[in-house]
Amino acid sequence: MQKPAVTLMVKAARAAGNVLLRHMNKLDALNVVEKDRMDYASEVDGLAEKEIIKELRRATPDYAILGEESGSLGSNQNPRQPTWVIDPLDGTSNYLHGIPHFCVSIALVENGEPTHGVIFDPLRNDLFTASRGSGATLNERRIRIADRKDLSGAMILTGFPPRERQRVSAQLKCIDALLLEAEDIRRTGSAALDLAYVACGRADAYFEAGVKPWDIAAGVLLVREAGGKVSDFRGRSTGPMDTRGLMTRQLVAGNLKIADALQQKIVGTGYASAFD
């Protein structure tokens, strides 16, 4: 049975998803801003986030909010204060180019750790949910991470975030080494869906640098609850996923064996040292 927090999050995610779908046929008319070099947001991102915040605040007025578009709302001085961490449109570039791969991501973070998470793909009507200690589901069916034993034949997902282009040579060297073993490495354009796909076995592993809490909080919980492991490029904890962890970070995700193998390959090729 869904936890009350997840039921609320699902309602908010579906409301945001409806906003995204309504505006898909008028992409040429959208106002788009460049938040940073090659990092874009549209008015739809803001509209979707407002829908999410409206639903969440109605039920939990005392919770803090950390949104990709709105920033930090409410009191975040107490690290134990529950915080909604929101990405109203993960995969904005895909969305603006008409590529049908994007989602809504919402997590409830308590003391820096996600305790409930929802990722909703409105085009496929795929609803991923997770609660700490209660497992993860896709459309109400329990999911489990793939059981691949090593990198041989693995399907690996990654990203090339604009804020990490100065390290792209090191990343490409790592990818070159990985492709000697892996079946393929794909860049889908949505970190949240990448993590959801790892959680349900559609992909074997994921790694990326330059991600922020709203990109990964819900997906990290999905992977953990599906039986997987998440770490940074050195195998360490990913750090708090609230306002204490706003700096970009690196992430590796997969089952226990493949996550360790991927993390070791990232270190061995020198990609991890690019962040030292």
Helix axes 168-178, 256-268, angle to 10 degrees: 120
Q: How far apart (Å, rounded) are the C-alpha atoms in residues 21 and 123?
A: 8
Residue 110: strand pairing partners: 113
- Architecture of 4-142 per CATH? 2-Layer Sandwich (3.30)
The model's pLDDT over 13-48, given as tens digits with 9 standing for 90+, comes to 999 999 999 888 776 655 555 555 444 456 888 889
Alpha carbon of residue 169 to chain centroid: 24
The model's pLDDT over 172-207, given as tens digits with 9 standing for 90+, comes to 999 999 999 999 999 999 999 999 999 999 999 999
Q: Which helix or strand (DSSP H or E) is residue 68 part of?
A: none
Alpha carbon of residue 171 to chain centroid: 19
Strand order in the sheet with 71-73: 71-73, 64-67, 83-90, 103-110, 113-121, 126-131, 135-138, 141-142
**Can you name the CATH fold of 155-275?**
D-Maltodextrin-Binding Protein; domain 2 (3.40.190)
pTM: predicted TM-score of the whole model, two decimal places? 0.93
Mean pLDDT estimate for the chain: 91
Q: How far apart (Å, rounded) are the C-alpha atoms in residues 248 and 33?
A: 21
More confident residue, 251 or 246: 251
Burial environment of residue 168 by CB neighbours within 10 A (0 to 12, 13 to 18, 19 or more): middle
The model's pLDDT over 134-161, given as tens digits with 9 standing for 90+, comes to 999 999 999 999 999 999 999 999 999 8
The model's pLDDT over 85-120, given as tens digits with 9 standing for 90+, comes to 999 999 988 998 889 999 999 999 999 999 999 999
4-142 and 155-275: identical CATH topology: no
Q: What is the pLDDT of residue 73?
A: 65
Mean pLDDT, rounded, for 58-77: 79
Instruction: Give whole-number Cα distances, 234 to 217, 219, 230, in Å.
Output: 19, 20, 11
Q: How far apart (Å, rounded) are the C-alpha atoms in residues 105 and 40?
A: 17
Q: Which helix or strand (DSSP H or E) is residue 56 part of?
A: helix 43-59
Share of the chain above pLDDT 90, in %: 75
Q: What is the pLDDT of residue 72?
A: 72
Q: Where are the domains of the chain?
A: 4-142, 155-275
Q: What is the pLDDT of residue 38?
A: 44
Residues 6+ positions from 208 with CB-CB distance below 8 Å? 158, 159, 161, 191, 194, 250, 251
